[in-house]
Structure 1
């Protein structure tokens, strides 16, 4: 990461804004009479009607276009470009002007979910569906001999973002549902990918035999990315993990892992288990602590550290991203986020549950709504994040007090249908260099602007590269 302004000048600006933010925070702190109250109560918006709190507004939208008509998925950012995953490939957006983003390039390369990360001149794409081959000219395959079916990681050269070039594939067991970029240790000319995948079928599948209680680790030499290869497949759950229950998923792998490389930590959302790892040795992650929630969590989906690395927010994908879970019948504690403090030191660190957070608005029973991907907003001294909730929209919430999280802003569209259960909405909503970018599953890209005295200082922080599951200390940006 590098600064985009001289450090001395940046620090003076931050000091001035910090003083303003402190005063404003005292006037509008969560829980005070001036705190933002969600607009609309439990009133369901009309079909496609946009509603929001006064402090969060849409400033741009781009529809899907060209051959990438599949489901939109995750984001990665670098410089003026945003890379948006899609089941049919990935978009390259020019976001130099957030109020007028444009499509700079499209790469047709089918293979769900096309989870995406970037590092330097490299882009990594995760494929979690069996394909006829490892190129971008492929089709879904269930007829090929199992060993001939391909799924895993594709590597692209994005030295020219307008013309990405396919370099290399790495086949991984059970494919790559998600993949997390892990910087090498200081001085190491390599990056790693922690590849998460799982088997929900309950039976052996081609290329995904049970028990699949492991992750795949791919090492990518930066001087020779074509030599990328699987270097380890550590078993995360030698005891088999959570065996499953009527309300919770059996653990047969991990869904997603977030790393905080500076602190040698990772947090794994692993179906029926939440995991805290020591990643001092990048190729040999070591479990420090695991937790379960057999009452309210159905499927541990993703994780976010706070900036000091003392908390983890885990999300629960109740309903697997295909159910209406933001309604009175489900309630506030299921299909929610769970906030854990990291207590203790060294090998004795543990994840200690503190509270749940769920958007404080009911959706229609026809709206697929679920806790999904989000990121921190860089506000020194506070823990604030933005998060996607499918058709529940985009929520900005404060968990500085782990026991009393509170929403401070929201934006959403109304249902896609009032008659039929329908999926859609925001898959990933991330803060990048002063704005929120939401990748809408069915409609395209939304750019949102947050204007709130509690978060205004965040606009002064800039980074050159952003992968949400590869967390940095934003105070060093």
Structure 2
């Protein structure tokens, strides 16, 4: 990685305007890398062709300096790129990240990797665990690590192979590891769940850890994943006996008549909107006994006072602009929720002028009222202001709060759109205050790449790029400075901490 001596400003709009005022770009060069997804996972797509005109437009935009070249890194003047750790023994797509003390735990379609981040500017690999089973969403609590498997497998071992979901013997669900020895994680339990575990969320208690398992897309031909699939699996894991982990409930979140329950019917009733057949992701705020669910065609607010029996408070839809409710983030006061729309499933080039600023974006909602009478009230959309090439998969994805008291700041991944730092303190007028991104992974096809998750933890931003590895960023901005004083012992972003308790 070479820092160029002459920083220069790049336009990132394919000829339709300048980058947001005040965000100067510093350029670095990084060699591109490839990704080998788990062949059994439909979301880990191979490179997809684009039209000759789109490929030519991408190449010409690079030549004119309107977008960075392949592998080239640009960022705003208030972002510093401290480190990049390329993928190593795990060739699959990098996914989510969790943190504990001086360690970061990075998921990958082929397993997970543990980093020592005691020196955040120079992460060191502690161990890598080969355990294929996309997407390997990862969380940690105490000495336990939780790993989601949403890829139909021959069995629950880490030596399993892909196997059709039409076969009754196939396995999908949650795996549990003992990480008391970070150099030698030990596989201790497995729990099969209906339709697998696309993502999961921890609700930690003193003696037990509850795990909310989100999954979707049932099929009458799948013995273990038949419709209606209108709820989530709740697993109870005893901390001292994780081998006794088991599903204790399957709460129905979308009660209703018909084969698919009471969620959003999707198309053709609502063209372009996903039919709700489960949830994609859930975020909990244990200090407030609240959860927010991103459930395909619906956004939910619910109470988790009784963690085994969550109770719906409010349910909203956006059938004009939201195609797939993907994830959710509370602000610290729990009077706002940011929902993301993963238009195109993460494989499409949706950060362009034709798609516009309201689709494939964040939807910001105020939470009004008290108790079980609270309502979600839409306020605005936020999308990165830099248009991407037709060969770049780009859409709103995983992010976290930046803990600054009295402000609502967030860092967020946008796949090949990079990492955005933005302010939604005024929920009606969100704005970007910094960014980091690479040029297109390729200019002749769409290749699955870019930042899957970008999270703020103890003074740094960690971004797990699907193809390029782990990036570490520092935000040098007075609006974010106070966050550097906040220190956590553990962070699973979907289990939001009370930063200022």
Q: Normalising to structure 2: TM-score of the pair?
A: 0.85
State which of 61, 67, 81 in structure 2 corresponds to 1:44.
67
- Give the SS at the match of 1:266: strand
> Which residue of structure 1 aligns with residue 385 of structure 2?
360
Show CA shifts across 1:61-116 (max 9, x none): 111001x1001000000111100000000000111101111111000001010000
Show CA shifts across 1:202-226 (max 9, x none): 6542421011111000001112111
> Which residue of structure 2 aligns with residue 116 of structure 1?
138
Cα distance change on mapping 1:438 and 1:324 into 2, 3 Å: same
Separation in structure 2 between the aligned mates of residue 181 and residue 307 of structure 1, nearest angstrom = 18
Give unpaired runs (5+ residues) of structure 2: 1-19, 26-60
Superposed displacement of residue 146, structure 1: 2.8
- Give the SS at the match of 2:152: coil
Superposed displacement of residue 287, structure 1: 0.3
State which of 213, 217, 228 in structure 2 corresponds to 1:199.
217
State which of 222, 228, 241 in structure 2 corresponds to 1:224.
241
1:104 aligns with 2:104: no
Superposed displacement of residue 36, structure 1: 6.4
1:151 aligns with 2:176: no
- Give the SS at the match of 1:457: helix
- Structure 1 residues 38-187: aligned runs within 5 Å: 38-39=23-24, 43-66=66-89, 68-142=90-164, 146-184=167-205
Show CA shifts across 1:358-393 (max 9, x none): 000000011000100000001010000000000000
Indicate if the aligned counterparts of 1:204 and 1:210 stay in contact, CA closer than 8 A.
no
State which of 299, 305, 327 in structure 1 corresponds to 2:330.
305
Separation in structure 1 between the aligned mates of residue 92 and residue 220 of structure 2, nearest angstrom = 28
- Structure 1 residues 266-285: aligned runs within 5 Å: 266-285=291-310
Indicate if the aligned counterparts of 1:112 and 1:129 stay in contact, CA closer than 8 A.
yes
- Which stretch has the larger CA shift, 414-423 or 451-460? 414-423
Separation in structure 2 between the aligned mates of residue 54 and residue 181 of structure 1, nearest angstrom = 36
Q: Normalising to structure 1: TM-score of the pair?
A: 0.89
- Give the SS at the match of 1:375: strand
Superposed displacement of residue 183, structure 1: 1.8
Separation in structure 1 between the aligned mates of residue 298 and residue 149 of structure 2, nearest angstrom = 23
Separation in structure 2 between the aligned mates of residue 375 and residue 301 of structure 1, nearest angstrom = 14
Superposed displacement of residue 399, structure 1: 0.2
State which of 423, 438, 445 in structure 2 corresponds to 1:398.
423
- Give the SS at the match of 2:392: coil
Separation in structure 1 between the aligned mates of residue 167 and residue 446 of structure 2, nearest angstrom = 35
Separation in structure 2 between the aligned mates of residue 47 and residue 115 of structure 1, nearest angstrom = 28
Separation in structure 2 between the aligned mates of residue 91 and residue 118 of structure 1, nearest angstrom = 13
- Give the SS at the match of 2:153: coil
Show CA shifts across 1:169-205 (max 9, x none): 0000000000001123xxx5111000000007x6542
Superposed displacement of residue 421, structure 1: 1.8
Separation in structure 2 between the aligned mates of residue 193 and residue 147 of structure 1, nearest angstrom = 24
Superposed displacement of residue 47, structure 1: 1.1
The RMSD of aligned alpha carbons is: 1.5
Separation in structure 1 between the aligned mates of residue 197 and residue 386 of structure 2, nearest angstrom = 34
Give unpaired runs (5+ residues) of structure 1: 1-34
Q: What is the total number of aligned residue pairs between the two structures?
A: 436
Separation in structure 1 between the aligned mates of residue 170 and residue 352 of structure 2, nearest angstrom = 41
> Which residue of structure 2 aligns with residue 11 of structure 1?
none
Separation in structure 1 between the aligned mates of residue 247 and residue 155 of structure 2, nearest angstrom = 18
